[in-house]
């Protein structure tokens, strides 16, 4: 194992009406998925992507500014399982009420 990162986020911090913030967090492909969702799911989705990207940076020992959110992409397989655009990284995202947690493991 090369690294592990975890991030917890209060979903109430995510303003899904702030398009500038949403576009800063999400890649174009992620944003296209976001547009297909209802408001509750949008908040979970953006929160999950934010927490996942933060966990990815932590796994690599990097901070905000060292890696752009746009360089990290989290999509889902047809089964719903999330995956990163890094073949050496595994990710898990979980939501509960107003919280989301993400963990990244670097192989």
Mean pLDDT of the chain: 95
Q: What is the pLDDT of residue 43?
A: 96
pLDDT digits (tens, 9 = 90+) for 16-35: 999 999 999 999 999 999 99
Shortest CA distance to 103 belongs to which of 9, 16, 40? 9
Contact at 8 Å (CB) between 101 and 94? yes
In the set 17, 62, 95, 107, the catalytic residue is: 95
Q: What is the pLDDT of residue 66?
A: 84
Contact at 8 Å (CB) between 48 and 83? no
In the set 40, 53, 58, 107, the catalytic residue is: 58
Helix (H, G, I), strand (E, B) or coil at 44: helix
Average pLDDT over residues 44-64: 94
Q: What is the pLDDT of residue 25?
A: 97
Q: Which domains does the chain have, with CATH numbers?
A: 3-106 (3.90.470.20)
* Catalytic site includes residue 105: no
* Catalytic site includes residue 20: no
């Amino acid at each position: 194992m090369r690294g592990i990162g975890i991030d917890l986020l209060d979903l109430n911090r995510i303003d899904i009406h702030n398009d500038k913030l949403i576009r800063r967090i999400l890649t174009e492909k992620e944003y296209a998925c976001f547009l297909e969702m209802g408001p509750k799911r949008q908040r979970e989705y953006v929160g999950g992507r934010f927490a996942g990207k933060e966990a990815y940076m932590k796994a690599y020992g990097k901070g905000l500014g060292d890696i752009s959110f746009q360089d990290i992409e989290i999509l889902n397989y047809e089964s719903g399982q999330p995956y990163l655009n890094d073949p050496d990284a595994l990710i898990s995202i979980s939501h509960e009420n107003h919280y989301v947690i993400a963990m990244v493991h670097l192989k």
